[in-house]
Each structure stands twice: as structure tokens, then as C-alpha cells.
Amino acid sequence: MFPKGTKRKFSDSGDEPPAGSDDVNQPSSAAVRMLSSYSLQRQSLLDMSLIKLQLCHMLVEPNLCRSVLIANTVRQIQEEMTQDGTWQIMTQALSAANAAAQCSADRLVATEVLCRQTEAAQGEPAPKPFPAVGSEGCSAEEVVVVEEEDEGVEGGVIMSTVSPQAPTAYLPSTFGIDPCWEEETGEEEDEDEDSEECASGSEEGDNDRLVEDSRTAEQVFGTFEIKNPAPSPDPALEELFSDVDASYYDLDTVLTGMQSAPKMGPYDLLESLSSHGPSPLSSSTSCRSDLNELDHIMEIIVGS
Amino acid sequence: MAGAGGGSNDVQWCFSQVKGAIDDDVAEADIISTVEFNHSGELLATGDKGGRVVIFQQEIENKSQPQCRSEYNVYSTFQSHEPEFDYLKSLEIEEKINKIRWLPQKNAAQFLLSTNDKTIKLWKISERDKRPEGYNLKEEDGRYIDPNTVTALRVPVFRPMDLMVEASPRRVFANAHTYHINSISINSDHETYLSADDLRINLWHQEITDRSFNIVDIKPANMEELTEVITAAEFHPHQCNTFVYSSSKGTIRLCDMRESALCDKYSKLFEEPEDPSNRSFFSEIISSISDVKFSHNGRYMMTRDYLSVKIWDLNMENRPVETYQVHEYLRSKLCSLYENDCIFDKFECCWNGNDSVVMTGSYNNFFRMFDRGQRRDMTLEASRESSKPRQVLKPRKVCAGGKRKKDEISVDSLDFNKKILHTAWHPQDNIIAVATTNNLYIFQDKVN
């Protein structure tokens, strides 16, 4: 339902959603858009923070105060995203349970995204909360690419937290996902091939979407421009990949700490889902059964 | 705005002097990094990014008149710190002077402490205006005289010479800080001083360089758990056992050195509860305290965070007694300021001689004064345009939104590269020193 509504913004093609789904989606789309705008803001802030931390590495002697403040901001965002992710899972599961007509379609759509996520994640070296920060020297572009996934990520990552196999955080898992999955109409057989096609085809499109997204972020944040901004440190991108002996900096321990700091793994999240569902949702048991069903379906698909 | 010696008449600030290069091309080494008057106000020291210290001396036109124009002229210039290389970490240690603090004067010479990120140095600045003449075994130019040719003895005498100011390093306090030194503060006992870095505070004796005592250590056992750093520290002006340090989370801890050797447990914790309506992802960053200064009378302390100046009564920990907004119009721009790193700028603040007015810097070369008694504030600008001799400074106003009046500046036109981080107030008179990026402006009270 809402992955389609939000993904649409970034899609190059003029794909129409399946007939009838629009009507059902309408009541929640406004709320979703508002949510997405905030999430976009938040995601953009997260990306910016991570880039700043990475640039910190490259300075002569990193300013510890600045690094600590940025790291705390990142931690804050992640905590909030984790909490919000929980909330949205419940909403999704509830609406999936209530709207009988769209139930099956939603689940299949959801599992597609799940599936794609998992496959993309398998391509990653190791799904961590902040891979850009580690000494692997993750490309700054990789980090920013995530921005494009924001709106769809709501749907994407939410589903991923349901499955124990998919990684929790947005960043690593969303790499490779692109809107062309919209073309899928829930045909499981074609899924795997199509996902691969789209994944490979997405890279060229990524840069375009990057530009688009930074503009979007700018619109979201600023109704103004600061003239003559302070010149950024401006290290060449090559330097980002150069061999930096991480042991030099005390800062590294702070940053590696960040990787382990978010204690909530996918399993924790799943537990928190089932253990304390929010009170307004009365059908928590049905949610749980739906989650298990989704789980089951995903396992089947991934297994095939 | 009440001055130190004056009544409740409004102070009119006039341009007095500007020091530094005129052209807009700023050499990195010339960027001023600290400004400090000495205890009498006769000397004004600046430190720069190139590790140099420049001291200006006040020359009063007519010493007999109480209120008269004075000028600060260069008294001494010396290279305090040199860039170093830490071979163990393969990191360069910047020579930038982070802080200068004057010692109370005990004899004819002046002493100051200057510090970069790692090393503190005690400098003696002394004058030489006489020199001995008439040696028996040495010519005037230094050549030795053959003793056999000496027929008469004479006593060498001191004759006046052109004033020469010499700066010589007397002590070097090194290798005591793993992290970057952000503060030094001289104790009222005139024997010790403290130096603070991001995680630790050390206590030194002015005479002893090979030993210092660690009095505060907030380094966690596991660096991964680090969430808070020390941002500034200062000794109480009268109580030699009391000092405060501020943190990146907006708290100030007051410690009593009599309680224990390691002052990890504070005596008082000053913290204002967060305003939930203003909460954002940037809340913590803008609450980080960049400077803390005791009032001269020792009853209050002032803290500077990104958007405001707060005055605290030492007897009340749960909230400040006064809060002044420096540039509240920036609150809606925090994301952009985060992006261009301006949100991490560390502004300093200072008290006037009788603690009635406080001053701090802002962007666009603006600086702000808050009159505590009259509840008035003023925004002034340090610019070349207002640099005619004795020109009265016109108050500036920033238009936050809506219709911009004539002479107002809109927030979007502010130049965020022009920041005033360092300001100083003469201990007795209404003379202020304001540092822009590479220029030092001196303003004075209008002389009647």
C-alpha cells in the first residue's frame, strides 16, 4: 500500500498502480506523506552526520568534541528510527489484517521488498548499523544513495524488521533497491530475475536520483540559503579510500562503539513488537499471526 | 549601559583602533585565536593560529585626566609555539594558541601562560631600557681588550637605551595532556593553575614542570561509551579551592578540591532542564557550552552555548538567573548551520569590570552586549566601514522575518564566515577588544 504511494515520487517511469488500490490507499496517504517528509529530513540528517564523521577521520587531529556531538546525534536518530519502525510495522500489520481485499496483494508486495532487501543485503560484506563509518572506507556515495530509498524504505525496512534474516538498519540493506520493483504486480516467479535486473540497472540511475534527492532535501530543510558557507574540508574522494591506519585515532574507538551501540538487533525488534504492542491496536494477536505468516512466506520465497 | 566608573549614562561605543592586515585575503596563520587583557588593562595580548603572541601596550595621552583617549600599540611580538609532530600517532600538533592567561604582576616583569593543544608555556616579558657601559675588559662592540693595555679601572654605569621588550620562555609544561587543551586558569593562590583538555583537568604548580596532578578525569573505561567531553574550565576568582568545568551536554560542575584528590564527584551540578517545545536533533549540540567565566565578584558565572548566554547564581543549580538570546533567529536555520559546521563554532563571552554588562560575539562580525541592570541589549558591528577615528558605532538589527526595515539586515544576508569568537573587556574601563577573523578592533567609550 504505502510503499507504492511513496515510491512513486522517485520513479522515472509513469507506471500506474493496479486499479482500485488507489481508493483504498487514499485515507492514509496524507499521513504517510507527512511521515515520509519527516523521515526524509531525518534520513538526510543521518547521512550528513555520517559523512561528517568519516571526514573527521581524515583531518590532522580530529576534534573530539565535534565528533562526540555528531556521534550522539547519529545515535539519537537511530534510536528514533528504530522506535518509529516499530510503530509502522504495527500499523502495516493492522491494516493488512483489516483490509481483506488488499491483504494478499499487500503481503506479496511486502515480501517482494523483503526479498529484494535480503538479496541486496547478501551482497554486502556485513550488515552493520553504520558501515560508512568503519575503516572499510565505504563510499560517501553509497551512504547518500540511501537517501533515495527513504520513502520506499518505510515500507521496505519495516518489512525487513519482521524477518529475522533481513538487517535492521536502513543503510546497508537498501543499497541496490530501486523503484523499478513497482512494475512487479506480485508474480512470485518473476521476482528473483527481475530484482536482479533492477538492481544492476539501478546504479546508473542512482546518481540522477542522488541529485534529485539532495534538491528535495534542500527544499525540505531550507527556505533560505546561507551565503558564503564555511568551506568544507574538501578532501578528495580518493583520500576517503586511502589506507588510513585507524589505530592512530582515539576517535575510532568512539566510532566503532557507535557500531555496537545500537543494541537493538532485528531479533530485539521482533521481540519488542510482540512483547509490548501499542495499546491503541486491539488486534495485536492477529498482527502477530500476520507477522508469522509474512515470515513464513518470506522464507519460502527466499528459499526458492 | 553603566560603565565601570561611570553612572547610569548610556555608553556610546566609538571606534578606536584596528590591528592587522587590511586586505581581505586572510593568511591562515594570522587568524586570531585568543584575546586577553592583563589585570591592570595596560597590556592586551592576542594569540594566533601561527603560534605567535602579540602584546599591545596602552599609551594614555594624558595620564592626569581620568577619562582620556588611549591607544594600544605593539609592545612585543614573539613566537610562542611551533608546529610539532607526534611521531607515535603520525599526527601534526597545531601551533595555534588556544588560550593566553596573564599572571598577576609581582615585579617589574610581566608573566603570561600561553597554550596550544598540548603544551603550556610560561613567558616572561621584561623591559630593558638601560644598558651597562664602560667595561674594563670589553669594548663597546664586544671585542675583548688585552688586559696588559689596561691602565686605569673604572666602574661600568647604566646608560639609557632604546626600550627593548624581551620575551623569554621560563617554563614549559609538556606531556600532560592526551587530548586537546581547551582552557587554562590561574588560581587565586598565585601558585597553581589548571589546564583542561577534552577529558581531563590537571593541576600544576607554576614552578614545577615535570609533574602535574590530575583532578578531573571523565574518560570512560570503554571509549565506546564516550558521550560527553569537557569544554571549558575556570578557577573561582577568590576561592582557591573551587573551580568549575562545563561539558558538551550543557552542564556545569563545580568542584571543591578540599573534598578529595580526584574531583570526579562534583559539589554542585548546574543544569537547566530542557525546553520540550524546542526539542530537535540539534538540541544537544546547541546546548554544548563553549565558554564559562566567573564574574569578577565571584558570585555568578556566565556560560555561552550556541544561541544564548546564561548567568548562573552559584547558589542555585537548577536554572540560570538570567538568559540572553544572542541570535535566536538562527534557531530555524540549525540544519544548514550543521551542514556548514557553523553549529560547532565556539563563541567566548566576557564580563565588564563591575559585572553589570556581558558581551559575546556572533556572525557577520556582529557582537552583542547585554546590560544586566537595565535589561537592555545592543548589537554592534566590527567593520572597516565604521572605522573612522572616534566614529560612534551604530546599533545594528537583524530582521528575523517579515518586512525588513531600512538599515536592518535579513538573516539570509548574514555572512557566516565573519564570526567574532573572541572578545575581551578592560578590567576597569569601558575599552573592549573584539577579534574578527584576522583583525583586532578596539572600541572605547565616547570621551566627552
Question: A 238-257 residues with CB below 8 A of B?
Answer: 245, 248-250, 253-254, 256-257
Query: CA of B82 to nearest chain A CA: how many angstroms apart?
Result: 16
Other beta carbons within 10 angstroms of residue A211's beta carbon come to: 10
pLDDT of residue B402: 73
Interface membership of B339 toward A (CB under 8 Å):
yes
Q: Is A234 on the interface with B (CB under 8 A)?
A: no
Q: Is B425 helix (H, G, I), strand (E, B) or coil?
A: strand
Q: What are the pLDDT tens digits along chain A (304 aa)?
A: 444 444 443 333 334 444 444 444 555 777 777 777 888 888 889 889 988 888 765 556 778 999 999 999 999 988 888 887 744 554 465 577 777 545 454 444 433 333 333 333 333 333 333 333 333 333 333 333 333 444 443 333 333 333 333 333 333 333 333 333 333 343 444 444 444 443 344 444 444 443 333 333 333 333 333 333 444 444 454 444 444 444 444 444 444 444 443 444 333 333 333 344 343 434 445 556 666 676 777 767 666 5
Q: What is the DSSP string of A65-126?
A: HHHHHHHHHHHHHHHHHHHHHHHHHHHHHHHHHH-HHHHHHHHHHHHHHHHHHHHHHHHSSS
Which tens digit of pLDDT belongs to each residue from B224-243? 899 999 999 999 999 999 99
Burial pattern B271-292, b for ≥16 Cβ within 10 A else e, equals bbeeeeeeeebbbbbbbbbbbb
Predicted confidence at residue B86, as pLDDT, reads: 82
**Does the beta-carbon distance from A229 to B281 stay under 8 Å?**
no
Residues 18-47 of A with CB under 8 A from B: 41-42, 45
The alpha carbon of residue A59 is apart from the nearest alpha carbon of chain B, in Å, by 9
Neighbours of A43 (CB within 10 A): 25
Above 90 in pLDDT, residue B22?
A: no
Whether the model clears a pTM of 0.80, i.e. scores above it, the answer is: no
CA distance B41 to B57: 9
Interface test with B, best of A37, A48, A72 (most B CBs within 10 A): A72
CA B359 to the chain's CA centroid: 12
* B285 Cα to chain A: minimum distance (Å): 6
Question: What is this model's ipTM?
Answer: 0.91
Name residue, grid cell 557550552: B289
- Chain A positions in Cβ-Cβ contact with residue B224 (cut-off 8 Å): 253-254, 256-258, 260-261
Q: Which residues in A lie closer than 8 A to residue B282 (C-beta atoms)?
A: 73
**Residue B220 distance to chain A (closest CA, Å):** 11
Q: What are phi and psi of B379, to 5 degrees?
A: -115, 125
Q: What is the dihedral of CA A85, A86, A88, A90, to 10 degrees?
A: 160
The continuous run of DSSP H or E covering A5 comes out as helix A2-7
- Give B 272-311 residues with CB within 8 A of chain A: 281-282, 284-285, 288
Q: Per-residue confidence at B26, pLDDT binned at 50, 70, 90?
A: confident
Which helix H or strand E contains A249, and what residues bound it?
A: none
At residue A159, what is the residue type? M
Q: Would the CB atoms of B411 and A254 count as touching at under 8 Å?
A: no
Q: Identify which of B74, B82, B18, B23 has the alpha carbon closest to the alpha carbon of residue B50.
A: B82
B226–A258: do the CB atoms touch at under 8 Å? Answer: no
B281 to A72: CB separation less than 8 angstroms, yes or no: no
User: What is the grid cell recorded at A84?
Assistant: 518509529
C-alpha grid cell, residue B282 = 540539534
CA–CA separation, B141 and B157 (whole Å): 16
Q: What is the pLDDT of residues B254-277, one digit of tens each?
A: 999 999 888 888 999 999 999 888
What digits encode the pLDDT tens for the residues A198-209?
A: 334 444 444 444
Distance CA B362, CA B414 (A): 10
Residue of higher predicted confidence among A151 and B313: B313
Structure confidence at residue B193 (pLDDT): 97
Nearest to A180 by CA among A158, A210, A156, A202: A202
Instruction: Give the model confidence (pLDDT) of A153-164 as tens digits.
Output: 333 333 333 333
- Asked if B24 reaches chain A (Cβ–Cβ under 8 Å), the answer is no
